[in-house]
Structures are given as C-alpha cells and as structure tokens.
Amino acid sequence: MKVKRVNWISQEALEAEVVVSDGEFDIICFAQPFHQLEESELIQTIYCLNVSNVVKVEKRDYHIEKSVGDFSYSLIGKLIDKHGEKVKIGKLLLELDNNLIPEDIKEGDFISFCCGRLDIY
C-alpha cells in the first residue's frame, strides 16, 4: 500500500485526507496524526469505523464504491483473519471494528460491508 496523495485539513494538527493505493484500488482515508510523505509505503492497517451490513457474498471479486459522506464506502473483500477482523481488497489491508462478522462466515470467504469512515493512524 502506498500514500498516493495527501490533502491537508490542518497541517498544524497533522490532520489529513490521505489517498491510499495498491496500484489498482484507491481509497480516501482520514488520518490524524499523519507524518508520512506522498509516495511512501503505508505499513499500518486501514481501520474501518462504523461498519454495518456485513454479509457473505458468492462472487469472489474485490470491489470499492464510494458512498455518500467524506470517508464512507461500500466494500467487498476477502476475510483473511476472522479473529482480527482483517479483510484484503486487492493489496489493501483493512481491519473492521465492532466484532460484526457473523458466525457462518469463515476465513477465505468474501464479504460485503459498509463503512462510515476509513482511518489510518
């Protein structure tokens, strides 16, 4: 994952809108504090806040669709760590909040979910 672009909301507060890319997918995340430069590697996980509508999907394709709201998305990805609630979309690594993954979903399944905000710390 790479920091593609940084749009500063407040440089003094180190608060930014950050476009993260894996070369195929781009997503806009909120970051505070943010210390990285454009084109630098992003090692940390992207956190999905206010997650809802988590369901298993049969189609095994990654999908990112911007929703209404600054940082909200509808996403489809592969669950790679159920206990840690980690999902991969392409080479983007996301972590869901709230322990909302239903019991019938297992690692390796593709899931669809909505996210109110994507954060990097």
Asked if 7 and 16 touch (Cβ cutoff 8 Å), the reply is yes
Partner residues linked to 41 by β-bridges? 2
Question: Cα–Cα distances in Å, from 77 out to 11, 28, 36, 40, 89?
Answer: 33, 17, 26, 24, 5
The domain segmentation of the chain, as residue ranges, is: 2-31, 46-120
pLDDT tens, 43-75? 889 999 999 999 999 999 999 999 887 789 999
pLDDT at 96: 95
In 3D space, the residue among 81, 117, 78 whose CA is nearest the CA of residue 99 turns out to be 81
Q: What angle do CA 45, 48, 50 make, to 5 degrees?
A: 160
pLDDT tens, 97-114? 877 799 999 999 999 999
Half-sphere exposure of 15 (CA within 13 A, CB side): 4
